[in-house]
Amino acid sequence: MMKMKMKIKINHQPRWVSSSSSSSLHGAVGDAACDVEDVENANEAQLHSILNELTNTTYFRLFQVDLKRTCKFWGKAGAAVDASAGDVGDEEPKCATGFGAAADAFGADASSSSASSFTSKAPPKTMCSLDLESKDGKGMLWSPTTSIVDRTISKPEASALAHKGAAEADCSDEELPTFWTDMCHKFTPGEQTEFVNLQLNPERWTGYNGSHVWRAIYEENCLKSALSVDDMCYEERVLYRLLSGMHASINIHIALHSKPPKRASGETEWASDIKKFMDLFAEHPDRLKNLHFSFVVLLRALRKAAPALAKMDVRIGQDEREDAHTQALMNRLLESHILSSCRDVFGAFDEKSLFKDVQSTLNAESGSVDRVFDPSQELAPISLKTQFKDIFLNISEVMDCISCQKCKLHGKLQLLGLGTALKVLLLPEDMLESSLNKQEVVALINTIAKFSHAIRSVPILLNEARLENVKNAKANTGGFSVTSPKPGASATPLEAAIHATATYVKSGVLNRDSEVAIIDAVLREDPKVLVLAKYYAENMPLRFIEHALRTLGLSPLRMREGDEHVDAIVVGGGLAGLTAALTVLDRGGRVVLIEKESFIGGNSQWASSGINGVIKTSFDQNADSEEAYTDDCEKSSYGNGNGAADLDPETVEHIPTLTSRAGQTIEWLRRRVGADLSLLSQLGGHSYARTYRPTEGMAGSSLVFSLKGKCEEYADSGRFKVVKKARVSDIITDADGHVAGVRWVPSDGTKGGGEINSRNVLLATGGYSNDRHGDDALLTKYAPQLTKFATTNTKGTTGDGHKLAFKLGAGAVDMQRVQVHPTGFINPDDESADTKTLAAELLRGAGGILLTRSGARFANELGTRDYVSARMQEEDPSKLDFVLLLNEKAASEANKHVPLYMKKNLLKKFDSLPQLTGWMAARGSIDELVLSSTLQRYNADAQNGRDAFNKTFFPNAPFDVSGPFYAGRVTPVVHYTMGGVKVDNTGRVLRPDGSQIVGLYAAGEIIGGVHGKNRLGGNALTECAVFGRLVGEDVVVDSSTPTTTTTMTASAPVQQPTKSEFKDVSAIELAKHASADDCWVALYGQVYDFTDFLEDHPAGAEAILKYGGTDGTAIFEAVHSRNMLDDFEPIGRLV
C-alpha cells in the first residue's frame, strides 16, 4: 500500500465551498422536480438512519456476485497498470463534455497507452450518440488481481443463502412490457457466483488505479458526440448523470476512508483525505448534483416498487428475532407516510419522459433538433430502447475489467443497484413482484444506502476542509494572529505592563528587584519589553511577566513559600468533579475545584430521571443482574437496540466498569453523602427497574447539592477551595510531559488569573453540545448536521476539557456520536429558544405517550432515545412538533416533575377530551373522534400486552378517555455527547497509542468508550458518579510532602453575610423586598434573603427574582429537596 502524506493548502475556494451553510451545495438538482435542499432534508430526517440499520441485517449484508468472470475487453499484449497510482474512484476523464481533466486525479495521463481503453472510432449515426460499435473491442489492458475480498461467511449466514430467481420472460421484443426484465442479466448468478458479506468489505481506498475503467465507461458508451451535458438528449443525459452520481459516491467513500490507521500508534479508524475530496469536487459541484440526481432516481424506484417489496420475504430463517427486526425495518422504509411525506423527492423524477419525444432528437451527428437531415439517417424511435439497454449491459461487462476485487465488488453492487432502479421504473408496476430477485433488491437497498451516506458526508468533508484552510492560514502568519484592540479599551501597552507588574507584586510572587527591573524597562521604553507588553500584558499578564523576566535576564517568578500542597485540581463542578473531590478529601487529600460558571452544578443539576445501578436487595425476588444491565447498555450502544457486536471494542470498552460499579456507587452516595435515592423506576431501554431518584426534588440537583455540602465541610481546614468564574486556559507539564498544574483566567473577561500547581488534574467539564461557534467548535466539526437542533445544555457546555486534553495529545473516541433526546419541551412563550428544558425520561417511564399533531401514536415510547428521535424525524420532519400526554396515574407517579413543568407553563392540565382536542387543534388537523380512537386502541393494546410498535410494558394504563389529561409540546433536542477523551478504566487519560498522560484524568460526559452510538437513559449520572469515584480512588494522596502552590483569585473573597436578628415578617413587609438589590423569599414558613445568592443561582437570578417578595415554597419543592436550605440562614418567620 502506498505511503500517504497530506498537507492541505487551498489558496482559493469556489464560493459554493466557502459558504458557511451546512452543505453549501444548493439549487435545482436538474432533470428532476426538486432542489438539493429537498434531497438532503429527506435524507437526514428520515432515510439515512433506517438504511444504515437495514443494511446491517443478515439479509441485506450478504450480496451474491461473480468476482471471477474474465474481462472480455483485455488486450492480449497488455501490461499491468501501476497499482499504487490511485483507486477505482478517480477523476472523471476528459471527454467531449469537458467535465474532467486530461489527467486523472493521481497523475496518469489520459492519453497514455496504459490508460487507453477501447479503440476510438467515428461515432455511428445512432440515437443520442449511444455508441455500441466498440462493444467487443480488445483494447483494454490487463492488470493483476489486487485487494482480495474477505469471503468469510458465518454458519448462520451460510444457512440463509437460498436464492429465489426471477421467472423467465421474453426480453427481445421492444413492444412487449417484458423487454426490460433482463436489464440486469449480466449480474445473474452462475457457477462462479458467491456470497460476500458487505460489512466485512467496507468501501475505502485500496491503491488501485481505476482510471482506465471509468474512461471506458464515459468515453466509449455515452459521451462521443455531445459538446456538453446540455447538448445530450434526455436519455443520454440520464444515463450519464446516473454513472456520474455513482462515481461521486465511490469517490466520497474513498475520500472518507483514505488513510489507513497507524496500528503501532494505537489508531484503529481509517482517516479522511480532504485534499482528495477537494481535488475532485471543489471545482465540480455538478458532480455532487449528479449524486443527488441519482439518489432521486433511486428513491423514485423505491417508491414505485414499494408494494412489491412489501410482499418480499426478507427472512433468513435462522433467528426469529432478527427476521422480525429486518421485516420491521423494511416496513418502516416502505411505510406510506414516509414515501408521501417527501413526495417532492420520491416523485421528483418522471421515468415517463424517457423514450417519449425521440423523433425530435434524431440527428445523430450534432444532437440538434433544428437541423434538417436525410430521412435515410433516421432511426426508428423504438430502436433507442435497445441501444439504451445494450449500453447499460455493455457497462456491466466493463465491471469485469476491474482487477481490484474490493473495487469490483462495490462497483458491481452499485451498478446493479442502478440497473434494478431502471428496471423498476421501466417495467409495468404489475410485473415488479414477479420480476425482482433477492440479488437485485439487496443491491438496490445497499446502493440507496451508499448514496445516502455519501450525501450526508459531503457537509462533514467540506467543514473539515474549511477548518483545515483556516488552520493553514493561521500557520502561514507565523503562529499567531494580531487583532485590533477591543472597542473601548483604554489601556496602552505601557499602562497594561505596569498594571500586570503591580498585580503580581501584590500577590507576593514578584520580588522587589524584579519589580524595579521591569518597571525601569517599561518606563525607558525598552523595545523588546514594549513588544511583549503590546501582545501579552493586558490579556495574558502572567505570560508577560514570565517573558519580561527572561528577556531581562532575571530569575523566574518566585512562588510563595509555605503554601499547602494540592493533591488534585478538579476542573468542573458537576457530579463527576464533586464525587472525585469528596473521595480525595475523604482519603486525606487537598483539592482545588475550578468552575467557570458562577455556580456549582454544571449540567448534572438538570438531570431529573435518576441514576442507574443494580442493587439486588432493593426488593424481594429482584431478577435484575449486572449481566442484564450490561446487555441493555450494549443493545442501546449500537443504536435502535441492535447490540454492540459490530462496534469497535474501544467504543464500549467501559460498559463493564460502569455496570459493575454502579450499584456500590449508589450505596456510597446514600451512606456517605446522605442522598435520598429511595424511589425506583424502569426507564426506556431497560429490561428491569434499576433507576433511583429522590422522593423530593430532582435527582441531579439533589446529588450535586448534597455532595457540595460534604466537600465544603473541609473548607474551614483549608483542604478544599473553590475558584468560581475561572476558566483553565492551559495544563502545565514538566520536562517529562507529566502534569504539573494549570493556568487559569477569569471566565467573565475581567483581568487576572494565575497558576495552581499539582501533580494531578481531573477534567470533569462535561460535553460539547453547545459548542457551535468558532474555528474550534467541536459540535460543528464532528456533527454539523445537528447544529440545527436546540439543546438541553447550558451555554457553558463547550468542550473546554476536550480541547485541553487534545492539546496534550490525548486520544479521541467517537467524537461524532452525539445523542438527540426525543423530548425537549417547546415553551409556548419562546418556541424558538436555542436551549430547551428536558422533558424527563421518567414521564414516558411513568406511562406518558407520544402523539403527532393529528393525534396518532408512532413509536414505542419506551424505546431507546435514538429510536424514538428517529421516528419523530420520520413522522414530522418539517415541524418536529409533538404532544407528550399523561393520564392522572402517570402524573401522580411523576409527582415532582409534573408540578414543576406546570409552573413553568410547559405542561397543561385538561379536564376533558374536548379541552385537549381544542388545544391540539391549534397546531394540527385533529378531531375528538380520532384522539379517542387512539387512546382506546392504546388501552386495548395494553390489555393484550403488545402493540404495533412492539411495546410490551404499559405503565399506568389504561387511559380514562374522559380525562383528566396532562399534555405538553415536545421536540427532539441535542442532549448528550457520547464520544470524548480516551481513558482507561480508572479515568486516566490516554494517548492514541494507549500510553498515559501522567497525572491527567477525565470523568463524566467528557470521556468516550462508555455509550457507543446511543446512551441509555439514566446512565449520565451513573457515568459521572462511577468514574468520579474511580478517579478519586486512583489519585495519589501525598499532602505530607510540601511543594509550592500559587493561587490567584478572580475577585476578592466572598464575605459571609452577617447573621441578622431573627424576626417576624408579614406578607406586606415581604412584598417590599422583590428586587435584584433586595430579594427575600418565603420557604416553608421561613423568610430567606437571597440577594447575595442571585448571581450564583444555577438557574440564573431570574428564577429567584420571579418569586421575590412572595412565598415560593411550591416551586422550590417541585425542584429541590428541603435539605438544600441547610446552607442558608433564615432571617425571619412569615406571619
| Catalytic (active-site) positions | 821, 844
Distance, CA of 675 to CA of 678 (rounded, Å): 9
Distance, CA of 216 to CA of 93 (rounded, Å): 9
DSSP tag of 168? P
Cell readout for 431 is: 410485473
Neighbours of 1080 (CB within 10 A): 23
DSSP tag of 973? E
CA 660 to chain CA mean position, Å: 28
Distance, CA of 895 to CA of 646 (rounded, Å): 41
Neighbours of 1073 (CB within 10 A): 19
Distance, CA of 1130 to CA of 1062 (rounded, Å): 7
Q: Are 967 and 885 in contact (CB under 8 A)?
A: yes
Distance, CA of 247 to CA of 410 (rounded, Å): 11
Q: Which is nearest to 989 in space by CA: 837, 798, 765?
A: 765
Q: Which is nearest to 11 in space by CA: 263, 230, 275?
A: 275
Neighbours of 288 (CB within 10 A): 24
**What single letter denotes the amino acid at residue 594?**
I
Distance, CA of 359 to CA of 372 (rounded, Å): 12
CA 677 to chain CA mean position, Å: 32
Using CA atoms, how far residue 383 sits from 236, 358, 365, 390, 955, in Å, is 14, 10, 17, 11, 66
Cell readout for 818 is: 452525539
Sequence-ordered alpha helix ranges (H) in 695-760: 699-712
Contacts 24+ apart (CB under 8 A), 1120-1123: 1120/696, 1120/697, 1120/698, 1120/701, 1120/702, 1120/705, 1121/676, 1121/694, 1121/696, 1121/697, 1121/702, 1121/705, 1122/696, 1122/1084, 1123/674, 1123/705, 1123/706
Q: Are 1105 and 1094 in contact (CB under 8 A)?
A: yes
Helix (H) or strand (E) holding 781: helix 778-782
Around 261, how many Cα atoms within 13 Å sit in the side-chain half-sphere? 10
